[in-house]
Amino acid sequence: MVKKIILFCTLALFMAVPALAQNFEPDELINISVYEKINPAIVSIDANLDDGFSAGTGCVVRGDGIILTGSHVIEGAKNIEVTTYDGKVYKASILAKMGKNKDLALLKIEPKQKLRTISFGDSEQVKVGQKVLAIGNPFGFAGTLTSGIVSRIDYAKGRIQTDAAINPGCSGGPLLNSQGEVIGISQSIYNPDNNISNIGIGFAIPVNEAKKFIASAKLDETILTSKKRFALKE
Q: What is the mean pLDDT of each run of 10 residues along the chain (234 residues)?
A: 44 43 86 97 95 94 97 93 96 88 92 96 97 96 97 94 94 97 93 68 95 84 40 35
Are residues 99 and 168 both part of a single domain?
A: no
Q: Which of 44, 46, 54, 103 is catalytic?
A: 103
Are residues 68 and 106 both part of a single domain?
A: yes
Domain boundary among 117, 150, 180: 117
Cβ atoms of 143 and 57 closer than 8 Å: no
In angstroms, the CA 36 to CA 61 distance is: 17
Residue 231 lies in a domain: no
SS3 232: coil
In angstroms, the CA 120 to CA 122 distance is: 7
147 counts as catalytic: no
Domain boundary among 58, 88, 117: 117
pLDDT at 41 (0 to 100): 98
Q: Where are the alpha helices (DSSP H) in the chain?
A: 2-21, 26-38, 71-74, 207-216
pLDDT at 114 (0 to 100): 96
Are residues 106 and 141 both part of a single domain?
A: no
State the DSSP code for 84: -
Are residues 93 and 46 both part of a single domain?
A: yes
Count the neighbouring beta carbons within 10 Å of the beta carbon of residue 97: 20
SS3 14: helix
Residue 10 lies in a domain: no
Are residues 126 and 189 both part of a single domain?
A: yes
Are residues 164 and 111 both part of a single domain?
A: no
pLDDT at 198 (0 to 100): 66
What does the buried/exposed string (b/e) look like for 209-226 if buried means 16 or more CB atoms within 10 Å of the residue's CB? bbbebbeebebeeebbbe
Are residues 161 and 192 both part of a single domain?
A: yes
50 counts as catalytic: no
Residue 226 lies in a domain: no
Structural domains counted in the chain? 2
Q: What is the DSSP string of 114-163?
A: PPP--EE--GGG--TT-EEEEEE-GGG-TTEEEEEEEEEEETTTTEEEE-
Cβ atoms of 198 and 134 closer than 8 Å: no
Fill in the amino acid letter for 40: P
pTM listed for this prediction: 0.82
Residue 87 lies in a domain: yes
Are residues 140 and 74 both part of a single domain?
A: no
Task: For residue 206, give its domain range.
Answer: 119-211
Q: Can you give the CATH number for the domain in which 44 is found?
A: 2.40.10.10
Q: Which of 72, 119, 123, 147 is catalytic?
A: 72
Half-sphere exposure of 215 (CA within 13 A, CB side): 11
151 counts as catalytic: no
Residue 6 lies in a domain: no
Residue 219 lies in a domain: no
